[in-house]
Amino acid sequence: MKPRLLLTILLSVVLIISIGGYSIYVSYIIKPSSVPGPVVFSYSEDYWRGLYAFGFALSNSSIPETVEQFLVVMNSDGNYVNYENSSSHSYSYVNQLSENDLYYYLRPQRRNGTQNSEVFPEARIWNFQTSTTRTILEGVNIQGHHEFLIEDGYFVTLRRIEKGGLDTVVHLDPKNGNETWVWSSEPYFPEKVCELCRDDDWTHGNDVTISLDGQFYFVNFRNTDNFAKVDRKTGELVWIAGREGNFTLLENGVEKESLWYHSHVVKEIEPNVFIMFDNDFHNRTHLDSYPLGEDPYVTYYGGQSRLIEVTLDESTMIGEVTWSYAAGLEYFSAIFGDIDILPNGNILGVFGTPVHKFGGDQDDSEGSFGASLLEINRDGDLVREYRFPLGISIYRVQELSDKSVEYMGSWLLEVN
């Protein structure tokens, strides 16, 4: 273990606050200043007990300049088991390879909103128990954006083409970085549909997941408010669900133009049942609330980010919201976001932007906080919250498993 971790003797101060006739246990976890940690709010004992792995960025007060990046393994008490940090590189696409080994993608962090595309990202493996890190696939170009899946012997990621920044899904050979399979969104999005988005970012693909039967990809497009089902063998498009897609969309029995706005992450949890993080940004029912152009660090422009479950019926071609959890207005996240089913059946939502403010007042800094992880049960009750300090942003979080059958990328442990 790193010597500096010996200094992380954490003080937990538990306060019991009586609200509305019941008690809320608030556990304050005091960390060294170099590794800012969350305040943990526990509303129930029915929370998942395990480890989370994620990268986070620490920004200065002016935002969006990032001053430091961290990769951490955190337990459910909000304590860090171990961490790495960098002032020049960001940690992305964390995948679990074994009980203690994590893969991550290290790349130069953005400066003034620009990514250095001339420097290849590094593929690294970190054993968070022994604090050993090694680089693999040196000199191989595995660049992509937003998504990085490790399949049996190859990688899956997203890349953009010049026209409108439209997205492709590609398979990459880890030996040489060659594309061995490509699916392009270009035929299905002939024009820009998000009036407030950049001209070079028509679709903004931000997620690729695999169907439960292993036969299809689900590709989420943030800026078009829909996702595609693509045959993994033939590359054929099966359907598009969402705004201007192939399904009639319903919520509470009412037909809607869209069920979500600028969402992140779509995961099939049962056949044709999906969970999604609905950012509710650029909501088309009140577009006049937004300034012209991208303003990703807004606190509140009338949006209410939420976690949703959407059920699609391929026989009737009807899609419907069948479960939802709308977080308070202070959790509105214009960008970032993640959702997953925890091993205990609860749902983890990642409200990841670096600025959240109570009351939706963008000029009021009192009580502001950064990214927040909310654990919700199926009844829609808040079970536990990990609330990070102002200026911390989190894109995705992975809960770690001790089941070897779930380690899809274990073959990378043998790669140099």
pLDDT of amino acid 16: 30
DSSP string, 5-59: GGG---EEEEEEEEETTEEEEEEEEE--TTS---EEEES-S----SEEEEEEEEE
Q: Helix, strand or coil for residue 96?
A: strand
User: What tens digit of pLDDT does each residue of 110-138 get?
Assistant: 666 565 566 778 999 999 999 999 999 99
Which homologous superfamily does the CATH classification assign to the domain defined by 3-414?
TolB, C-terminal domain (2.120.10.30)
CA 220 to chain centre: 12
As given in the structure block, the two tokens for residue 46 are 């029915």
Query: For residue 220, how many C-alpha atoms fall within 13 Å in the half-sphere facing its CB?
Result: 26
Which span out of 66-70, 296-300, 314-318, 399-403 was modeled with the highest average pLDDT? 314-318
- Lowest model confidence (mean pLDDT) among 28-37, 134-143, 319-328: 28-37
Between the CA atoms of 331, 291, 258 and 333, what dihedral angle is there, to the nearest 10 degrees? -20
Task: Average the pLDDT over 294-321 and give the result.
Answer: 85
Looking at 93-233, list the stretches that DSSP marks H as alpha helix, in order from N- to C-terminal side: none
Q: How far is CA 126 from CA 57, 81, 173, 202, in A?
A: 19, 13, 22, 36
User: What tens digit of pLDDT does each residue of 349-383 get?
Assistant: 999 999 898 765 555 556 789 999 999 999 999 99
As given in the structure block, the two tokens for residue 317 are 């071609």
pLDDT of amino acid 416: 83
Domain assignments of the chain as residue spans, ordered by start: 3-414
Confidence of residue 21 (pLDDT cuts 50, 70, 90): very low
Task: Average the pLDDT over 167-196 and give the result.
Answer: 95
Average pLDDT of the chain?
87
